[in-house]
């Protein structure tokens, strides 16, 4: 059996969105039956980094290559058995909603350096009068946009409530066909080059143009964006005081497309890499809060464990596990790791029964699940408890 190629999926997606379902299905069935790739459709983009994703999730949002926790569960079935459902998901998906209205401003900006250029949206709360405020950088998942991600996470509402600046960098389709951040490319896992340099540049540009509280800069992301948040915490520990990773992977979990698929399915064979860029303190800890659904069929939940291992940096920490339920009844396990002084260094939330979606998110954005703990609120709580030691002093 031959899986449809990325070109097959892109063309099928285009036809589906135009309402040409039979033609889309013919392409996908043909790819399976014939066992070879089809030529690129007219107008397809030229050579460039390939998208990591091959099929859309059932509830909209970032495209993905799902893993199967139980490979025998679908024995005897072919890819064709699942294609109609995937295409129905595309047809029923609502267009991304604009973020909910707030009294602050939400405007587009741009940043360029030797690695290229990216636009970003910046939310400035209504209370801003030139005073120093914390900054959170939010990295969207595949196929998403800053507006979509802001709507789904409702981070702008929390920014208005707590007095935060929030920046949303936007991936471009010329860099990745599905607008995924290229977390799996080694060139995009290093300080001072590639996409990390662009995201760090956007962060510093905001710090130059607005008053940002010293030592109170944070980065968080979902899925591919979560993987890049982990990269930013590893490569720029001097810039970001804490990171949030939702349904993501550790820095260095993959080095190419093949290892990316493997990491997404079952976790990386090398779950973490040495912190070569220099940690901000002797123990090597990067304060991190992780959320991951234990029914995630897109990025295996073990990747959340790997993010914690990487952020821990080999430090001796006390560990306490608590269990609870969110207001809607969704159960979770929360592991808190504290240093010898009793300070919380890491939090790992395992969301029982949840899949690959932002926990406690809004249906106004894609790739969210309104069930479960409010990941956005918990991230903000965690972030505001952490600042660079030198700056805090």
Residue 235 reports pLDDT greater than 90: yes
Residue 241 reports pLDDT greater than 70: yes
Do 269 and 210 share a structural domain?
yes
Q: Look up residue 5 and give its two tokens.
A: 């190629």
* Selected residue with higher pLDDT from 79 and 211: 211
Structural domain contains residue 255? yes
Total domains in the chain come to 2
Helix (H) or strand (E) run with residue 228 in it: helix 224-235
Helices 224-235 and 302-312: crossing angle, nearest 10°? 10
Given a contact cutoff of 8 angstroms between Cβ atoms, the answer to whether 57 and 89 are in contact is: yes
Q: Which DSSP state fits 73?
A: G
Given a contact cutoff of 8 angstroms between Cβ atoms, the answer to whether 190 and 198 are in contact is: no
Do 191 and 258 share a structural domain?
yes
Choose one of 44, 71, 92: the last residue of a domain.
92
Given a contact cutoff of 8 angstroms between Cβ atoms, the answer to whether 365 and 96 are in contact is: yes
Mean pLDDT of the 233-248 span: 98
Instruction: Quickly state the pLDDT bin for 11 (edges 50, 70, 90).
Output: low
Structural domain contains residue 98? no
Do 275 and 353 share a structural domain?
yes
Do 263 and 303 share a structural domain?
yes
Do 357 and 258 share a structural domain?
yes
Sign of CA dihedral 354, 168, 378, 393: positive
Instruction: Quickly state the pLDDT bin for 41 (edges 50, 70, 90).
Output: very low
For residue 390, give the 3-state DSSP assignment: helix
Do 287 and 344 share a structural domain?
yes
Mean pLDDT of the 68-84 span: 40
According to the model, what pLDDT value does residue 278 have? 44
Structural domain contains residue 382? yes
Structural domain contains residue 97? no
Structural domain contains residue 189? yes
Structural domain contains residue 100? no
Given a contact cutoff of 8 angstroms between Cβ atoms, the answer to whether 227 and 248 are in contact is: yes
What CATH number should be reported for the domain holding residue 359? 3.40.50.1820
Do 165 and 55 share a structural domain?
no
Structural domain contains residue 99? no
Q: Look up residue 350 and give its two tokens.
A: 């395992």
Do 372 and 227 share a structural domain?
yes
Do 287 and 172 share a structural domain?
yes
> What is the C-alpha to C-alpha distance for residues 144 and 121, in angstroms, rounded to an integer?
13
Instruction: Quickly state the pLDDT bin for 268 (edges 50, 70, 90).
Output: confident
Statement: the pTM of the whole predicted model exceeds 0.85: no
Do 380 and 292 share a structural domain?
yes
Q: Look up residue 347 and give its two tokens.
A: 């939090």
Instruction: Quickly state the pLDDT bin for 388 (edges 50, 70, 90).
Output: confident
Do 17 and 118 share a structural domain?
no
Identify the domain containing residue 271 by its residue range: 105-392
Residue 281 — φ and ψ, nearest 5°? -140, 175
Residue 22 reports pLDDT greater than 90: no
CB half-sphere exposure, 154, CA atoms < 13 A:
18
Do 264 and 229 share a structural domain?
yes
Choose one of 92, 119, 151: the last residue of a domain.
92
* Selected residue with higher pLDDT from 40 and 180: 180
Choose one of 39, 60, 92: the last residue of a domain.
92
Report the Cα 251 to chain-centroid distance in Å.
Answer: 12
């Amino acid at each position: 059996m031959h899986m449809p190629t990325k070109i097959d999926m892109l063309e099928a997606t285009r036809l589906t969105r135009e309402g040409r379902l039979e033609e889309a299905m013919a392409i996908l069935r043909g790819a399976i039956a014939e066992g070879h790739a089809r030529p690129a459709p007219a107008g397809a983009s030229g050579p460039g980094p390939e998208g990591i994703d091959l099929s859309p999730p059932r509830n909209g949002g970032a495209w993905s290559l799902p893993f199967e926790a139980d490979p025998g569960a679908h024995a005897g079935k072919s890819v064709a058995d699942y294609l109609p459902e995937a295409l129905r998901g595309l047809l029923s998906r609502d267009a991304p909603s604009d973020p909910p209205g707030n009294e602050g401003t939400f405007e587009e900006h741009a940043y360029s350096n030797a690695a290229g250029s990216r636009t970003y949206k910046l939310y400035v709360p209504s209370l801003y009068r030139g005073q120093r405020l914390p900054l959170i950088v939010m990295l969207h998942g595949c196929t998403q946009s800053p507006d979509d991600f802001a709507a789904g996470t409702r981070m702008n509402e929390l920014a208005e409530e707590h007095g935060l600046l929030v920046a949303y960098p936007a991936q471009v389709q010329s860099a990745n066909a599905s607008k995924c951040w290229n977390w799996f490319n080694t060139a995009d896992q290093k300080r001072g080059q590639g996409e990390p340099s662009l995201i760090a540049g956007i962060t510093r540009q905001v710090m130059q143009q607005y008053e940002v509280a010293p030592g109170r800069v944070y980065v968080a992301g979902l899925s591919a964006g979560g993987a890049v948040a982990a990269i930013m915490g590893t490569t720029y520990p001097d810039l970001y005081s804490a990171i949030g990773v939702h349904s993501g992977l550790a820095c260095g979990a993959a080095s190419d497309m093949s290892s990316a698929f493997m990491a997404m399915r079952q976790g990386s064979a090398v779950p973490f890499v040495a912190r070569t860029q220099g940690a901000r303190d002797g123990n090597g800890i990067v304060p991190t809060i992780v959320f991951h659904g234990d029914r995630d069929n897109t990025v295996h939940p073990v990747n959340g464990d790997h993010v914690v291992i990487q952020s821990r940096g080999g430090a001796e920490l006390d560990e306490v596990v608590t269990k609870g339920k969110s207001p809607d009844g969704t159960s979770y396990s929360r592991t808190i790791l504290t240093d010898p002084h009793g300070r919380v260094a890491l939090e790992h939330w395992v969301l029982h029964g949840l899949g690959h979606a932002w926990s406690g998110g809004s249906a106004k954005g894609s790739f969210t699940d309104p069930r479960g703990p409010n990941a956005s609120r918990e991230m903000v709580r965690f972030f505001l408890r952490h600042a660079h030691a030198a700056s805090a002093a």
